Amino acid sequence: MPQPVSRTLVSHGKSNLAAGIPRFRVRSARRGISRAPLNRARSARSDVSWLSRCCDVRSDISRTVVLALFLGLFGVVGCAGGGGDATAADSLSSSPPRALEDPYGSSLRDSASIAADSSGEFTDADSASCPMTGLWRQCNVEKRLERSGFVIRPGSDSVAQPGLLITGTVVRLGRAELQLYFYADSADAHRQADALDVGAARPADATDVLREPRLIRSNNLLALFFNNNDRQLERVELALTAGLPTR
């Protein structure tokens, strides 16, 4: 006669009985229930790790592309800048700038006085010796500076600077030094202003200037002013850029 199910289970040990389900089934159920979330967590971590690696790769690729574009743009700009310098040098070599004929006129060097009549206007003789043609000459600069209240005296007869292909002259304003370069037209003056290395410019007569000169350009005139006083610099700039010598 077969034994009851309960006795069979008890004979195998009371611990094998769990709510009428054999122990091996309980274990199997527990394993199935407990492993499913674990497998899902592992799968999720695997997905996250894969996505992280993909993002890292994409980030590296993006940085590489950006760096390549930057270097390419930098190279293009550098080549363009170098080409501009070469073009300017070729332009100067093929068509050198021309100095103004008779750049002095009536100046301090030939001891001509800059006299005015009682009304303060210059006489016809002065106008004839220092023509007012719209182009700067030595005499025009000296008259303009004297009208602005400066006491001027002559300096070196000839001075040169790196990049400039003509020689200039020097006018002294106290301890300051004003170098004057007169060109045949404004185009030549403009090209020479681009070629001038202001940082390498040096005074011819002044010895106590503590800073770089200021480049002043007005029509056919390039002027380098060596001084230490900002107010004096402003006055000289205003005098030479306030208008051209007119007829």
Q: Tell me which residue range forms the domain holding 166.
A: 108-241
Is 1 inside a domain boundary? no
Is 173 inside a domain boundary? yes
Domain boundary among 71, 94, 117: 94
Rounded Cα–Cα distance for residues 223 and 230 (Å): 16
Query: Is there a single domain that holds both residue 120 and residue 208?
Result: yes
Is 233 inside a domain boundary? yes
Running DSSP on this structure, what letter comes out for residue 246? -
Domain boundary among 31, 65, 94: 94
Contact assessment for residue 154 and residue 112, using Cβ atoms and an 8 Å cutoff: no
Contact assessment for residue 65 and residue 98, using Cβ atoms and an 8 Å cutoff: no
Query: Is there a single domain that holds both residue 127 and residue 234?
Result: yes
Q: What is the CA 50 to chain-centroid distance, rounded? A: 46
Query: Is there a single domain that holds both residue 127 and residue 226?
Result: yes
Query: Is there a single domain that holds both residue 40 and residue 158?
Result: no
Is 7 inside a domain boundary? no
CA 201-204-206 angle, 5° bins: 100
Contact assessment for residue 234 and residue 240, using Cβ atoms and an 8 Å cutoff: no
Quickly count helices (H) and strands (E) in the chain: 6, 7
Number of structural domains in the chain: 2
Is 188 inside a domain boundary? yes
Query: Is there a single domain that holds both residue 74 and residue 195?
Result: no
Query: Is there a single domain that holds both residue 219 and residue 140?
Result: yes
* 167-to-45, 125, 138, 191 alpha-carbon distances in Å: 79, 29, 13, 15
Is 131 inside a domain boundary? yes
Rounded Cα–Cα distance for residues 151 and 232 (Å): 12
β-pairing verdict for 176-182 and 221-226? antiparallel
Query: Is there a single domain that holds both residue 52 and residue 114?
Result: no
Is 2 inside a domain boundary? no
Can you read off the two tokens belonging to residue 175? 């301890």
Query: Is there a single domain that holds both residue 140 and residue 31?
Result: no
Domain boundary among 94, 116, 136: 94
Can you read off the two tokens belonging to residue 17? 């009985």
pLDDT in tens, the chain (247 residues): 555 555 554 455 555 545 555 554 544 445 545 555 556 656 656 665 655 665 565 666 667 766 667 666 555 445 455 555 555 555 666 789 999 988 876 545 554 444 444 444 544 455 567 878 889 999 999 999 999 999 999 999 999 999 999 999 999 999 999 999 999 999 999 999 999 999 999 999 999 999 999 999 999 999 999 999 999 999 999 999 998 887 5
Query: Is there a single domain that holds both residue 222 and residue 123?
Result: yes
| CA quadruple 39, 44, 47, 49: dihedral sign | negative
